[in-house]
Amino acid sequence: MPTETMRASVLTGVETLIVEDRPVPSPGPHEVLVEVAAVGVCGSDVHYYRHGRIGDYVVTAPMILGHELSGRIAAVGDGVAPGRVGQRVAIEPQRPCRRCRACMSGNYNLCPDMKFFATPPIDGALCRFVTIDAEMAHPVPDSMSDEAAALLEPLSVAIATMRKAAVAPGSSVLIAGAGPIGVMCAQTARAFGAARIVVSDPLPARRERALRFGATEVLDPAATDIAALDPQVDAFVDASGAPQAVVGGVKAVGPAGRVVLVGMGADDYALPISYIQNMELIVTGVFRYTNTWPTAIHLVESGLVDLDSLVTGRYDLDHVADALNSDADPASLKSIVLPNA
């Protein structure tokens, strides 16, 4: 059994982190206690660190960041098989209510009472132990590294995106942004059978990296009119959050195509509505995911998606600020925090 206290990296203000001792949580009924092995740094963590908020989600009290995680089950609560202790798992970091209309329809990611790791006021995983509902702790094969298991969470965003974009064998997709999510979307599009995967990004190093991770062609949006892409694509995915990229990407989609908005950008901006109407485009967003972990595990275990190669930096709890600021380096793609290092 774990000790009574654990170290945790706590956000106490904008760009202010401290490492403090916190009580080790106890698993409740149908919960497991997980010793955290690896935590991926997400853009939302960076946003909370630098701005203290994302839209309506405002940090008003000290909070632990981090929601991309893997670990090993250290203890179980009532109703959970004792044999799960010691099992390596990837965590789906959300607790839906299971009773509302969204949950009952299968869209549990849209639960209005969702408790999601590292979303105010819920603590995240930049600490040694967390608890989660047992079914949200997904067993992973021993062939998968702890770091890859942690990155099943952002891969789940990419899987949800490709499902929304209806990417299928032989289809074409344009992805704006070659950051972590854009690169994972390119890999996932390839795994889903897309024949043409175009990635746009203003940075040459990122465009070159996208070619290594699934893109069949890359474009510099500063030098190319994305709206005039020829031939047009079946789907456009925005992983940049840049309004200009969204408008150009929408116009690059052919008749009856799909537009999926993933990147975090401005709350409001203009869209080419007449084009959307005349082309009968389907425009939608992605807010997390549902039922993606089995697919994510398969894609990694089968070698269709490579997550280990995305890791460009590793940090301990005393250097979380460095991990959060690593995005300033264009060579950085995915930073990992190892709470037990």
Residue 217 lies in a domain: yes
53 Cβ contact partners less than 8 Å away, ≥ 6 residues apart: 47, 59
> Rounded to the nearest 10 degrees, how much is the dihedral formed by the CA atoms of 317, 310, 149, 335?
10
pLDDT of residue 145: 98
- Indicate if the pLDDT at residue 308 is higher than 90: yes
Higher pLDDT, 147 or 54: 147
Regarding whether 199 and 85 lie in a shared domain, the answer is: no
Give the domain CATH number at 59: 3.90.180.10
Task: Determine the Cα–Cα distance for residues 58 and 14; give it in Å rounded to an integer.
Answer: 11
Residue 18 lies in a domain: yes
Regarding whether 241 and 332 lie in a shared domain, the answer is: no
- Indicate if the pLDDT at residue 332 is higher than 80: yes
Please, where are the H alpha helices in 55-100?
none
Regarding whether 176 and 147 lie in a shared domain, the answer is: no
Q: Tens digits of per-residue pLDDT, 231-264? A: 999 999 999 999 999 999 999 999 999 999 999 8
Q: Tens digits of per-residue pLDDT, 6-20? A: 999 999 999 999 999
Regarding whether 29 and 73 lie in a shared domain, the answer is: yes
Task: Determine the Cα–Cα distance for residues 341 and 323; give it in Å rounded to an integer.
Answer: 14
Report CA 29 to chain centroid distance, whole Å.
28
Q: Tens digits of per-residue pLDDT, 258-291? A: 999 999 888 889 999 999 999 999 999 999 999 9
Per-residue tokens: 217: 């062609």
Residue 293 lies in a domain: no
Q: For the chain, how long is the longest CA-to-CA vector?
A: 63
Residue 124 lies in a domain: yes
**Would you say 127 and 339 are in contact if contact means Cβ atoms under 8 Å apart?**
yes
Residue 294 lies in a domain: no
Give the domain CATH number at 220: 3.40.50.720
Regarding whether 123 and 200 lie in a shared domain, the answer is: no
Say what angle helices 204-212 and 180-191 make with each other, to 10 degrees. Answer: 30
Of the candidates 56, 76, 54, 74, the one whose C-alpha atom is nearest the C-alpha of residue 65 is: 54
Q: Tens digits of per-residue pLDDT, 161-216? A: 999 999 999 999 999 999 999 999 999 999 999 999 999 999 999 999 999 999 99
Task: Determine the Cα–Cα distance for residues 111 and 137; give it in Å rounded to an integer.
Answer: 19
Residue 304 has φ and ψ, to the nearest 5°, of -70, -25
> What is the 8-class DSSP label of residue 24?
P
Regarding whether 235 and 281 lie in a shared domain, the answer is: yes
Domain of residue 54, residue span: 5-151+307-337
Task: Determine the Cα–Cα distance for residues 297 and 89; give it in Å rounded to an integer.
Answer: 11
- Indicate if the pLDDT at residue 155 is higher than 90: yes
Regarding whether 139 and 12 lie in a shared domain, the answer is: yes
Regarding whether 222 and 187 lie in a shared domain, the answer is: yes
Regarding whether 80 and 20 lie in a shared domain, the answer is: yes
Please, where are the H alpha helices in 165-268?
180-191, 204-212, 243-251
Regarding whether 313 and 180 lie in a shared domain, the answer is: no
- Indicate if the pLDDT at residue 138 is higher than 90: yes
Residues β-bridged to residue 238: 176, 261
Residue 276 lies in a domain: yes
Of the candidates 322, 334, 320, the one whose C-alpha atom is nearest the C-alpha of residue 7 is: 320
Q: Tens digits of per-residue pLDDT, 17-76? A: 999 999 999 999 999 999 999 999 999 999 999 999 988 899 999 999 999 999 999 999
Regarding whether 228 and 110 lie in a shared domain, the answer is: no
Strands ordered across the beta sheet of 16-23: 16-23, 5-13, 63-64
Residue 295 lies in a domain: no
Instruction: Categorize the per-residue pLDDT at 93 as very low, low, confident or very high, splitting at 50, 70 and 90.
Output: very high
Instruction: Categorize the per-residue pLDDT at 341 as very low, low, confident or very high, splitting at 50, 70 and 90.
Output: confident
Q: Tens digits of per-residue pLDDT, 51-60? A: 999 888 999 9
Residue 259 lies in a domain: yes
Count structural domains, the chain.
2
The average pLDDT across 144-158 equals: 98
Q: 């789940």: which residue's tokens?
A: 156
Identity of the amino acid at 7: R
Q: 């997980």: which residue's tokens?
A: 34
The region that residue 318 occupies, defined by phi over 0 for left and psi between -120 and 50 for alpha, beta otherwise, is: alpha
Residues β-bridged to residue 339: none
**Would you say 252 and 234 are in contact if contact means Cβ atoms under 8 Å apart?**
no
Task: Determine the Cα–Cα distance for residues 266 and 273; give it in Å rounded to an integer.
Answer: 18
> What is the 8-class DSSP label of residue 185?
H
Regarding whether 104 and 35 lie in a shared domain, the answer is: yes
- Indicate if the pLDDT at residue 1 is higher than 70: no
pLDDT of residue 268: 87
Task: Determine the Cα–Cα distance for residues 22 and 25; give it in Å rounded to an integer.
Answer: 9
